[in-house]
Amino acid sequence: MTGLLAQALRLPCGAVLPNRLCKAAMTEGIADPWLRATARHVTLYRRWSEGGAGLLITGNVMIDRRVLERPGNVAIDGNGGFDRLKAWARAGTHAGNHLWMQLSHAGRQSPRYVTSEPLGPSAVQLELFGNYARPRALREDEILDFIQRFARAAAIAREAGFTGVQIHAAHGYLLSSFLSPVTNRRTDAWGGSIENRARFLIETLRATRKAVGADFPISVKLNSDDFRKGGFTHAECLRVVELLNAESVDLLEISGGTYEQPRLLGYAGRADSAAEPQRESTRQREAYFLDYAAKIRTVARMPLMVTGGFRTRAGMEAALASGDCAVIGLARPLCTDPDFPKRLLAGEIDEAPRYEKTVVLGHSRWLSGASPIFFIKLLNVLGQQGWYYQQIFRLADGQNADPRRGLLRSFFYYLWDEQRTAWNMRRARRMLAAGRMPAD
């Protein structure tokens, strides 16, 4: 193996990533009704471990079993399942790679079929098809409790055999919503200035570092910009990075967008977005957030990881050669080809298929139009999401991906599976409330 992609990377804590490729976090949705890891996690992550990436980051592992990103999330919140976590960690590190647990709280972005009372910095509702209830503003004692929950979950991850953790402070989830003046309208020590809005994240990092020690990798996932009017800006991102420089962060992943502006999926959203259009240079270089990473690089003292859009060896090598990032995050390509990193590093292939360009509804000419076909665009975004979820399910069941699967069929199967999983989860939640714990 030659080239920058194959080079090892020593992190500030002393841990070494065997190469520069990372399977970025993707929500799996395959936990059992009690929100514990399952045999499907073992199968899925063993395949990804054998696939050649030097680092795997799990999907959302929630610190609060009441408020989830989706049904089927794993949670660490008094629901048992430690031996299951150990099995997941063994499988995910089988090939000698790192496996980091992504720790998260969904905040206000928890759908109604998961919770009727989401939580946030302020009572600012997510207006998206009526699928999200008005959140309740957190009390300060709850914020302090959540800080310790992040830390405890990280300690459990280390004990179970995970080799690092990532704190999810992007995409509009709880920590991200504290950073945004749109969703954080507090007037206490947790709102107002960017330093106050970043306090939750900073205190979480300090508690987590104390819990896991100096030699355990801690990563942060951070928006480069919320891409919405009045939201968390790129200038504020740079200030947060300055604050993170003092907090022993080992890898900073650069992303962007929220549910209202899903740039993480390569989708620019409505025409009234306050964000600038995606630059042509960024499109040519593939990665959605590489231009932002170049600016963050001038401030950050920790290594950077960029995820979103990478498909070619040339694009990845160029990004590393520029110094704008040190790790390449891959997500969708590994849903259909779990061996993509290994084949790429071996020189067998130079490019991943771009199913996001071909699995669409309507003619491509329509999809480049203006606001009248907004809902067609949105259906493509949601349909593709369901399509990739179905591919993950197939891999977790020991099957190969099925690229011929139709978009609409995948979308409706996804909706059915979400509702079925949510129903089973609610039934298990009632059992837990009654003190009926399942066997581990």
Task: Give a three-class secondary structure readout of 327-376.
Answer: EEEECCHHHHCCCHHHHHHCCCCCECCCHHHHCCCCCHHHHCCCHHHHHH
Q: What is the pLDDT of the chain when averaged over all its residues? A: 89
CA angle, 72 as apex, 335 and 167 as ends, to 5°? 75
Give the pLDDT confidence of 278-287 residue by residue, as tens digits: 444 544 456 7
Domain boundaries, the chain: 4-354
Contact 186, 192 (CB under 8 A): yes
Q: What is the model's pLDDT at position 169? A: 98
In angstroms, the Cα distances linking 74 to 44, 48, 325, 423 are 14, 18, 30, 16
Instruction: Identify residue 59 by its one-letter amino acid code.
Output: G
The rounded distance, in Å, linking the Cα atoms of 119 and 134 is 8
The rounded distance, in Å, linking the Cα atoms of 185 and 198 is 13
The rounded distance, in Å, linking the Cα atoms of 140 and 372 is 44
Contact 259, 126 (CB under 8 A): yes
Q: How large a percentage of the chain has pLDDT more than 70?
A: 90
Q: How large a percentage of the chain has pLDDT more than 90?
A: 75
Q: Tokens 């929220």 correspond to what residue?
A: 258
The rounded distance, in Å, linking the Cα atoms of 247 and 21 is 24
Reported as type and span, the H/E element at residue 131 is none
Give the pLDDT confidence of 222-240 residue by residue, as tens digits: 999 888 889 999 999 999 9
Nearest to 418 by CA among 27, 28, 29: 29
Q: What pairing do the DSSP bridges indicate for beta strands 16-17 and 9-10?
A: antiparallel
Q: Residue 22 has which token pair? A: 């990372």
Q: What is the model's pLDDT at position 409? A: 85
- pTM assigned to the model: 0.92
The rounded distance, in Å, linking the Cα atoms of 98 and 219 is 13
Nearest to 389 by CA among 416, 410, 359: 410
Q: What is the model's pLDDT at position 373? A: 57
On the question of pLDDT at 159 being above 90, the answer is yes
Q: Residue 131 has which token pair? A: 């699928």
The rounded distance, in Å, linking the Cα atoms of 172 and 223 is 9
List, in sequence order, the alpha helices (H) in 51-180.
82-92, 140-160, 174-179
The rounded distance, in Å, linking the Cα atoms of 13 and 34 is 34
Q: Residue 214 has which token pair? A: 């100096």
On the question of pLDDT at 168 being above 80, the answer is yes
Q: What is the model's pLDDT at position 297? A: 96
- Domain at 4-354, CATH from 3.20.20.70, 2.40.10.480, 3.40.50.20, 3.30.420.40: 3.20.20.70
Q: What is the model's pLDDT at position 283? A: 43
- Specify the 3-state DSSP secondary structure of 301: coil
User: Which residues face 119 on adjacent strands?
Assistant: 136
Helical axes 234-244 vs 290-297, angle rounded to 10°: 50
The rounded distance, in Å, linking the Cα atoms of 370 and 81 is 48
Give the pLDDT confidence of 357-412 residue by residue, as tens digits: 787 765 444 344 444 455 666 677 778 889 999 999 999 999 999 998 888 888 88
Q: Looking at residues 184-208, what average pLDDT do you find?
A: 98
Residue 138 DSSP label: P
On the question of pLDDT at 300 being above 90, the answer is yes
Residues in the chain: 440
* List of residues 6+ apart from 21 with CB closer than 8 A: 5, 52, 53, 54, 55, 316, 327, 328, 330, 341, 344, 345
Q: Rounding to the nearest 10 degrees, give the CA dihedral for residues 284, 289, 292, 294.
A: -60
Tell me the Cα Rg of the chain: 20
Instruction: Identify residue 404 by its one-letter amino acid code.
Output: R
* List of residues 6+ apart from 439 with CB closer than 8 A: none
Give the pLDDT confidence of 319-334 residue by residue, as tens digits: 999 999 999 999 999 9
Contact 316, 308 (CB under 8 A): no
Choose between 433 and 63: higher pLDDT.
63
Instruction: Identify residue 168 by its one-letter amino acid code.
Output: H
